[in-house]
Amino acid sequence: MARNHNTAPKVIVTLVIIGMTAILAYEQASHEATAPQNKIPVPQISALPVPQLPGAKCHMRGLLPDPVCTPGSIDPTVTDENVSTTICKSGYTATIRPSSSYTNKLKRQQMIEYGFTDSLSNHEEDHLISLQLGGAAADPTNLWPQPDASPNPKDKIETNLRVAVCAGRISLSEAQQRIATDWTTAANGLMVNR
């Protein structure tokens, strides 16, 4: 009977994967056990598969938009010096929010660019850098058809960042950079005043 010599590499790869998984699980558990408990709460976020056509121009990275298609953009009139009269002022975002006719038209276009094959109602045309963090209101490079979870965990993170900016715990530009880079980790490490 002939022996299959291709089995050894498969076994080695499997053992390496199991070993790496165990190391990552141990490090995550160690980090969680030693992490300070006075951070801004971050909602649990899980990536749901989103159907996309293979030839799409833009590609999701888990829960994150394509950084080329949706890099995010800011409103240059919102600065650290005027946050008290802009983003920290109640009702500010309602004064600059684009019309739903504009965002619905853009969402249809961007759904095609992202290759999404599901219903428009499964997506929220979302600002990557939110309006409450001084994001550009109508710039297509700051808007994307975010797969919609309800409630949307990104909203809580945006609010936590705005609260931190308004309290002076983080600069506006840092909050904008964090949310544009990876909204799922943007609030990590921010301390809450008690």
Q: Is the pLDDT of residue 50 over 60?
A: no
Residues 31 and 83 in one domain: no
What is the rounded average pLDDT for all residues in the chain?
81
Pair (64, 8) in one structural domain: no
What b/e readout covers 122-153, taking b as 16+ CB neighbours within 10 angstroms? ebbbbbbbbbbbbbbbbbeebbbbbbeeeeeb
Instruction: Indicate if 95 and 15 belong to the same structural domain.
Output: no
Q: pLDDT tier at 152 (50, 70, 90 boundaries)?
A: confident
pLDDT digits (tens, 9 = 90+) for 107-137: 999 999 999 988 999 999 999 999 999 999 9
Same-domain status, 103 and 176 = yes
- Residue 5, pLDDT > 80, answer no
**Total number of domains in the chain:** 2
Is there a single domain that holds both residue 122 and residue 150?
yes
pLDDT interval class at 190 (50, 70, 90): confident
Instruction: Give CA–CA dist 175/160, Å, rounded.
Output: 10
In this structure, which amino acid lies at residue 42? Answer: V
- Res. 7: pLDDT tops 80: no
**27 and 53 housed in the same domain:** no
State the residue range of the domain holding 81: 41-194
Q: What percent of the chain has pLDDT over 90?
A: 59
Please name which of 113, 119, 125, 128 lies closest in space to residue 181, comparing C-alpha atoms. 128
pLDDT of 48 > 70? The answer is: no
Q: Which residue matches tokens 């056509």?
A: 53
Residues 117 and 162 in one domain: yes
Instruction: Please indicate, yes or no, whether residues 6 and 64 belong to a single structural domain of this protein.
Output: no
Based on the fold, state whether residues 134 and 186 are members of the same structural domain.
yes
Same domain, 170 and 150: yes
| Residue written as token pair 């190391």 | 23
Q: To the nearest whole percent, how much of the chain has pLDDT over 70? A: 69
Is residue 64 located within the same domain as residue 2?
Answer: no
Specify whether 115 is located in the same domain as 78: yes
